Amino acid sequence: MDEAQFEFIEIHQLRLGMFIELGLGWMSHPFPTGSFKISSEKQLAVIRSLGLKRVRYLPGKSDLLSGFENVDGPQVAAGADPGEQTKPDLSLEPTDELRLRKQRSDLLSAQQRQLIVCERRFVDAIQHYKLAVEQVSALPGAAKQQCFGVVSGFVGDMLEEGELAIRLLSEGMGDKASMHPVNVTILSLLLGRSLGLPQPDMLDLGMGAFLHDIGKTRLPDRVRWPEENFSTAEYKLYQEHVAQGVTLGQHMDLSAGAVQAIAQHHEAMDGSGFPGRLKGDSLSTPSKILSLINQYDNLCNPGRPSAAITPHEALALIFAQLKNRFDSVALNAFIRMMGVYPPGSVVQLADERFALVVSVNSTRPLKPRVIVYEPRIPKHEALILDLELVPDIGIRRSLKPTSLPRDAMDYLSPRQRICYFFENAINSSSDEVGA
């Protein structure tokens, strides 16, 4: 860099539109590069948290007037050569280096704690589901209470004020039979929340979603998940899980709304569903939500893992080929909630780097949080990059995981099974500032 092109500026003088150079190493700050134009108050807050006293400021690349006409504090003398000004050494002292390493370590620890909390709650829901399945025949009341405890906890958390983030979980959360109902419940309730459903409808939706496939426990293993090579008889037997689920729901004394959601979770707006080939207004709102989310999760997590498609592909397929099957209001709200690139999507950023989408703010999904493939940083030290902090770096395109270079594949570890949970987006954002 030409030394005559920059001036030093105190941190408290920074303003939006200034192009700055932090003078720190990659590991010491949360931004993709050390030189950039400040474009948001959020960026300013992060810069101030780094503990620096001053940074380099490049008037020629800024949107402000040259010099410091718009800020308080000392100016470079008129006519003086900035290259001859006294240039303080911005190199990090050992204590600064230790502090910044500790800051990074604290961020990593916070991210890991948040992930552990989400995964424990997901696994806990799975265990309650399995226990309910075991109890449903002999102890239907106990089975109902197992499920209601989980669902009412989710609904209570989601209906609290604040923005929620949809979080991608690690691999291996459970088998398809137990993972699917929890996944569907989480996404159904998040969509119900975004559509403004009142608490009673949220509870009906949650109970219907949690137990929508319980009828499959009464079917032979070979027909619990549909296959393209099913015979007519096998497909008819598979469809029986809906009626079996309704019977079990009534046996558990579920609410009429929850039983209706179970009964209609394979129906479609255009009448092409089963078992009743119902149309449009014949479907309840919880049923419309549940049928959409069930389809999405089955595309991402089919019975045969080799048939799975990416979350981005699943949304695109539903919108392009299947949208007549689903309520347009629910579908549009779902796409807005998940974003074009839902958690679990493998993407390439505008700067050509590969990344994995791991979190989306359900009310502001266009700038998700991603883990970036960066060989200079060990995989276990990779922070989550918040794309809201870096408006100049967006997502260029979605990729199939198999198209990644081997090193990037090993680093990002795309999930074969897509599991979701939710967390407070404010807390998530404050900890996950970048990578």
- Per-residue pLDDT reduced to its tens digit, 223-254: 999 988 899 999 999 999 999 999 999 999 99
User: In terms of pLDDT, which residue wins out, 114 or 287?
Assistant: 287
Distances (CA, A) of 377 to 26, 43, 281: 9, 22, 54
Helix (H, G, I), strand (E, B) or coil at 121: helix
User: In terms of pLDDT, which residue wins out, 82 or 122?
Assistant: 122
DSSP assignments along 318-384, one per residue: HHHHSGGGS-HHHHHHHHHHH-SS-TT-EEEETTS-EEEEEEEETTEEEEEEEEE--TTS-GGGPPE
Classify the C-alpha dihedral 34-38-41-42 as positive or negative. Answer: negative
Residues 329-384 pLDDT 10s: 999 999 999 998 999 999 999 989 999 999 998 777 888 999 999 888 888 888 88
* CA torsion angle 270 275 276 277 (round to 10): 20
Name the residue among 287, 19, 297, 249 with its Cα closest to residue 136: 249
The pLDDT mean for the chain works out to 86
* CA torsion angle 289 294 299 301 (round to 10): 130
Q: What is the pLDDT of residue 189?
A: 98
Residues 300-340 pLDDT 10s: 999 888 899 999 999 999 999 999 999 999 999 999 999 98
CA distance 189 to 204: 10
Residues 151-167 pLDDT 10s: 999 999 999 878 899 99
CA distance 52 to 37: 17
Helix (H) or strand (E) holding 97: helix 94-135
Residue 61's CB: how many other CB atoms inside 10 A? 15
Structural contact between residues 55 and 24, judged by C-beta atoms closer than 8 angstroms: no
Locus of tokens 């408290």:
12
